[in-house]
Amino acid sequence: MANQAEHSRRSFLKRVVEFSYGIVGLLVGVPAIVTALAPVATRRKYTWIAVAKLTDLPDGQTTRVVIADKNPQGWYTVPREKVIFVKRNGNRFTVFSSTCSHLGCNVNWYPAISEFICPCHGGVYNADGKNIAGPPPHPLTKLQNRIKNNTLMVAVS
C-alpha cells in the first residue's frame, strides 16, 4: 500500500516536472519564434515605380530624377519623394540611391567632374557610385531596375 502511494506520488511529481518543462519551453520558444519571424512578417515588399521614359534619359549621362513613393508608417502611409540618379550606357541602366552611406544625407551629382558629392561631410563617390573620399564607408546603393513599355522602372522598398 505504501509502495503504491510512493509510486503515485512519484508519478504525480514527474508529471508536474514535465508540465513545468512544457511551460518553460513555451515561454522561451514562442517569443523566440515570433522574434525570428518578425522581419519576414514586417518586411516591406519591393514596389516598382516608374522613373522616366527611356527617351528622357540621355545616353552616356547620369540624370537626377525625383520619384514619388509611399512611406509606410505603421498603419498608414505617407507620400514622399526620393531622389535617385540614373546612369545610362546604351540600354544598360544603373540606378543609384542618393542616400549617402555615411549618415544619410542626399548626395548631388556634378557632371563636370563626374562625381557624387555629399554636402554634409564632403563624402565623394565616383561615377560608378564607389566611395572614393571622405567619411562614407560604402558605395552608393544601387537599386534594381527594369524596362517596361519603354519606361525605366525602379524597385523601392
147 contacts: CB under 8 Å, gap ≥ 6: 54, 91, 93, 153
The count of chain residues that interact with ligand FES, using the rule CB under 6 A, is: 11
Bridge-based pairing of strands 142-143 and 131-133 is unpaired
Show the binding pattern over residues 96-115: x = contacts ligand FES (CB under 6 A), - = does not: ----x-xx-x----------
The dihedral through the CA atoms of 138, 104, 54, 77 has a sign that is: positive
Which residue's CB is nearer to ligand FES, number 134 or number 139?
134
> Judged by CB under 6 A, does residue 132 bind ligand FES?
no
> Judged by CB under 6 A, does residue 129 bind ligand FES?
no
- Stated as kind and residue range, the H or E segment containing 131 is strand 131-133
> Judged by CB under 6 A, does residue 139 bind ligand FES?
no
Count the residues in the chain: 157
Q: What residues make contact with ligand FES under the rule CB under 6 A?
A: 100, 102-103, 105, 118, 120-121, 123, 134-136
